[in-house]
Amino acid sequence: MDTTSRAKLAGSAYKDEADLAARQSLYGWQQPRYDLPGIVLEHLPASAASVLDLGCGNGKFLDRIRRERPQALVIGADISPGILAPLPPPTVAADAAALPFASGRFDVVLALHMLYHVADLPAALEEIRRTLVPGGLVFVSTNAHSDKVELDDLWSAAAGDVLGIDNGPRRVALSERFALEDAHRLLEPYFEQVTTVDLPGVITVREPEPVLAHLRSYRAWADEGGVPFDATIDRAHELLVQHIDRHGEFTISCRGGVIVARKRL
């Protein structure tokens, strides 16, 4: 499935923050809870004077870093002008594979949950390396192939029921093109000292709506799912209600991570 179409990313999936916020909100039910901006700030050198938040989305990291590092210039960049519109400047609409910045412009680049949306990953990684100072840091985050498998199973079961078959198509998995297990191998040709902070957890919900909101946030890719999207959502709702009535809760296993790497001197 194509999760890299610029027209789709800027025109529907991230035209505003609604779908992204719905996906983010599911983590409110996760244990343990992780302060992801805090994890980045813990590793952010005190000397960092310039930071690029590439694929900044609705600005959650951007806002936090600006508050806690007011001495640093923090620029937000995203492929979608719509999602950037509410954010305070400086921001710029930009393609990760062709960044409008001089070489060596930034001490730190953040590429958090966004590299799997880049059509030309080698070009984007080369651009990140180019715009970093020698010894500069890149922070990357993504999910593992095994992340949220219970949502995969739920969607497949609902889709199968809608289509009248045993096992329906899997849901769109955004992280597949740049998954946690593959990140080290993909980053190593461009950076050194690649280290990973694993962030496992379990999401537990006792009502269906948080899960349904998460599933609905994939509507931009509905035409690629191979099933009637709304009917599958409705069937997933029924299956969730049955599961929660029987077990009292629905649990989702999560595995994500933050990867930190350095540009060679």
Domain boundaries, the chain: 6-262
**Homologous superfamily assigned to 6-262:** Vaccinia Virus protein VP39 (3.40.50.150)
Q: Residue 132 and residue 5: Cα distance in Å, rounded?
A: 26
Report yes or no: 203 and 26 within 8 Å, Cβ to Cβ: yes
The pLDDT tens digits of the residues spanning 56-112 come to 999 999 999 999 999 999 999 999 999 999 999 999 999 999 999 999 999 999 999
Q: Is the pLDDT of residue 194 over 80?
A: yes
The residues near 125 (Cβ < 8 Å, ≥ 6 apart) are: 115, 186, 187, 189, 190
- Region of 226 on the Ramachandran plot (φ > 0 left; ψ -120 to 50 alpha; else beta): left
- Greater confidence (182 vs 172) lies with 182
Q: Which of 91-95, 172-176, 241-245 has the lowest mean pLDDT?
A: 172-176
Q: Residue 217 and residue 234: Cα distance in Å, rounded?
A: 14
Q: Is the pLDDT of residue 225 over 80?
A: no
Confidence category of residue 1, pLDDT binned at 50, 70, 90: low
The residues near 46 (Cβ < 8 Å, ≥ 6 apart) are: none
| The pairing of beta strand 106-112 with beta strand 50-54 | parallel
Question: Torsions phi, psi of 129, nearest 5?
Answer: -60, -45
- What are the residue ranges of helices labelled H in the chain? 6-8, 18-25, 36-43, 60-68, 81-84, 121-131, 149-163, 180-187, 209-216, 229-247
Q: Is 59 helix (H, G, I), strand (E, B) or coil?
A: coil
Question: In the numeric block, which tokens belong to residue 153?
Answer: 């199973």
What's the whole-number average pLDDT of the chain?
96
pTM over 0.85: yes
Average pLDDT for residues 28-57, to the nearest whole number?
96
Q: Is 40 helix (H, G, I), strand (E, B) or coil?
A: helix
